A and B are shown apart, each in its own frame.
Chain A
Amino acid sequence: MGYSADEEVLRGINFHLKPGSFHFLTGPSGTGKTSLLRLMYLAHRASGGVVRIFNQDIARTRRAVLPGLRQRIGVVFQDFRLLDHLSARDNVALTLRIGRVREDAIGERVTELLDWVGLRDHLDAKPPTLSDGEKQRVAIARAVIGRPNLLVADEPTGSVDEYQGVRIMRLFKELNRIGTTVVIATHDRRLISQFNYPVMELGHGTFGITGNK
């Protein structure tokens, strides 16, 4: 599997995520975790192999269809990728606005979620004024506000303290309980060991899934 004509990044990877499943993705740096995630959240189309998401062969899917698929995917980026000119509230609301949710229905949902992740006092704060942990929580709120069918999170607890980490994992479990398929990429073996979820292990040229929940 690759996403550029002259460079093969992923090879021999074959897996199927059941709807409503919860997986960790782990492996040493440089093994293609981020590339695999990018394929999953449709930042790239694979130049070889087959990527099927929501029963769509992504390589053959018309470009105009992709935004609709992306709206069903929540992404937590490792570097947060918040919009610095928007407040925490507007960053979280972005997904809903893009999904054409009515403005009067947005406010309450956003405030409630930011309250839940402990940012009620930072609703109007711009990202440059927030700590990394706070930014990460805003990024997570943005990813889950639209109740996505698939949630892809890259090191979502990497910048938060243990208490917030537990709360975030509880949020992901809750989303998973109501049907969201969750994939969490992490180096944190301790975090993985706290949960009995299957783990996708990506090595240099190897791939396997351990655990069987």
Chain B
Amino acid sequence: MFRQHFDLPLGEDGSDRFVPWIIAVMVYLATLSVAAGMAVNRSVDKWNIGLEGTITVEIVASNAPVEDAGKRMDRALSILRKTEGVRSATPISRDEISKLLEPWLGQGDVPLTLPIPQLIDVRLEAGTKLDFDALGTLLENAVPGARLDDHQYWTERLTGFGRSVQITSAFIVMLVALAGAGTVVFATRAGLEIHREVIELMHLVGSRDSYIAGQFQAHAMSLSLRGGVVGLGLGAATLGVLSGITASIKGSFLPTVTITAEAWAVLAALPLLAGLIATMTARVTVARALQEMP
């Protein structure tokens, strides 16, 4: 089995005690940040897919007799079904609307006197490019109180929200990476100072900078991988708890925290990324410091 031989006593300089824990906290924060970003994005995608290829026509309630409401619905359906590109136009029943309103109005029959708008769920043929403005105007003119909602308002905002979450997540990961790199720089510089005499001797007996840097690199990688695995483990446990909590809130609009295989692959890469950053940082720090030696 591969075993790195350390000529420098890097394990005895105290870095073993604090670097893994700092890296563990960094990877923990990065795990939560990346998982949150992925969960929100998945929800936004789900909502977008749900809204894609559909429009909703709303006919607001009026004081007119109930028979009039039926006529207005028929007129709107007739217009919609004659429109090219419309696959189906289905009125949403009062029962279904009541279910949609349950989170706000609670379970039970919605009183008939409550002015609830009528809704029509319109499905479009795939690839149809409808002139929503023209269709909306046509409906408004033909059916008083009719309004067409192409969901563009929501999809734009959802996409914007998803992008903001992604950017914030990336920013947090970047900050965490910078803080981790800073920790490694500090630990490496301390190590260089503590082991100055040993390094000088190694130089005198012909050691190349890369040989000495290699020992610091391997040590930094070992410490950060250890810390990274602990951080990932703690992150996974936290995500497990959050997943249980969100799953228990039925009908919630909260994104569900489920870690897919793909997400696990991304999260599992975080300790490796931490190891890579630590390795590169240690190498650059040592190489710069050794340049000052004869």
Give the CA-CA distance A83 to B199 in the complex, in Å.
Answer: 10
- Known contacts A83-B198, A94-B7, A97-B5, A45 near B205 by CB under 8 Å: no
Interface bits A17-35 vs B (CB < 8 Å: 1, else 0) = 0000000000000000000
Closest to B5 in A: A97
Q: Is the C-beta of A99 less than 8 angstroms from some C-beta in chain B?
A: yes
B205 partner, pick from A63, A85, A103, A142, beta carbons under 8 A: A142
A-B contact pairs, 8 of them (CB 8 A): A41-B204, A67-B206, A67-B209, A70-B205, A70-B206, A71-B205, A94-B7, A94-B202
Q: Is the C-beta of B201 less than 8 angstroms from some C-beta in chain A?
A: yes
Minimum CB–CB distance for A72 against chain B, Å: 8
Interface bits B265-294 vs A (CB < 8 Å: 1, else 0) = 000000000000000000000000001001
Q: Is the C-beta of B208 less than 8 angstroms from some C-beta in chain A?
A: yes
For A43, what are the chain B residues with a Cβ–Cβ distance below 8 Å? 204, 294
Minimum CB–CB distance for A26 against chain B, Å: 23
Minimum CB–CB distance for A36 against chain B, Å: 15
Residues facing B in A87-142 (CB within 8 A) are: 90, 94-95, 97-99, 103, 142
- Known contacts A44-B294, A98-B211, A83 near B203 by CB under 8 Å: no
Residues of B bordering A, CB below 8 Å: 5, 7, 9, 12, 197-198, 201-209, 211, 291, 294
Minimum CB–CB distance for A55 against chain B, Å: 18
Give the CA-CA distance A95 to B201 in the complex, in Å.
Answer: 11
Give the CA-CA distance A142 to B12 in the complex, in Å.
Answer: 24
- Known contacts A85-B12, A86-B7, A98 near B204 by CB under 8 Å: no
For A97, what are the chain B residues with a Cβ–Cβ distance below 8 Å? 5, 7
Give the CA-CA distance A73 to B197 in the complex, in Å.
Answer: 19
Minimum CB–CB distance for A61 against chain B, Å: 11
For A44, what are the chain B residues with a Cβ–Cβ distance below 8 Å? 294
Q: Is the C-beta of A75 less than 8 angstroms from some C-beta in chain B?
A: yes
Closest to B207 in A: A98
Taking residues whose C-beta sits less than 8 angstroms from the other chain, chain A's interface range is 20 to 34
For B207, what are the chain A residues with a Cβ–Cβ distance below 8 Å? 67, 98
Minimum CB–CB distance for A144 against chain B, Å: 12
B204 partner, pick from A63, A75, A83, A103, beta carbons under 8 A: A75
Q: Is the C-beta of A81 less than 8 angstroms from some C-beta in chain B?
A: yes
> In the complex, are the beta carbons of B206 and A68 less than 8 A apart?
yes
Interface bits A25-64 vs B (CB < 8 Å: 1, else 0) = 0000000000000000111110000000000000000011
> In the complex, are the beta carbons of A83 and B201 less than 8 A apart?
yes
Give the CA-CA distance A45 to B5 in the complex, in Å.
Answer: 31
Give the CA-CA distance A75 to B200 in the complex, in Å.
Answer: 13
Minimum CB–CB distance for A39 against chain B, Å: 11
Give the CA-CA distance A187 to B41 in the complex, in Å.
Answer: 79
> In the complex, are the beta carbons of A45 and B202 less than 8 A apart?
no
For B209, what are the chain A residues with a Cβ–Cβ distance below 8 Å? 67
Closest to B290 in A: A63
Minimum CB–CB distance for A29 against chain B, Å: 22
Give the CA-CA distance A94 to B201 in the complex, in Å.
Answer: 10
Closest to B208 in A: A67
B201 partner, pick from A64, A81, A90, beta carbons under 8 A: A81
For A67, what are the chain B residues with a Cβ–Cβ distance below 8 Å? 203, 206-209
For B211, what are the chain A residues with a Cβ–Cβ distance below 8 Å? 98
Closest to B12 in A: A85
**Given A41-B204, A75-B205, A95-B206: 4 more A-B contacts, CB < 8 Å:** A42-B294, A85-B9, A94-B7, A98-B206
For B203, what are the chain A residues with a Cβ–Cβ distance below 8 Å? 67, 70
Closest to A69 in B: B206
> In the complex, are the beta carbons of A45 and B206 less than 8 A apart?
no
> In the complex, are the beta carbons of A95 and B7 less than 8 A apart?
no
For B12, what are the chain A residues with a Cβ–Cβ distance below 8 Å? 85
For B5, what are the chain A residues with a Cβ–Cβ distance below 8 Å? 97, 103
> In the complex, are the beta carbons of B294 and A94 less than 8 A apart?
no
> In the complex, are the beta carbons of A71 and B206 less than 8 A apart?
yes
> In the complex, are the beta carbons of B294 and A45 less than 8 A apart?
yes
Give the CA-CA distance A79 to B281 in the complex, in Å.
Answer: 35
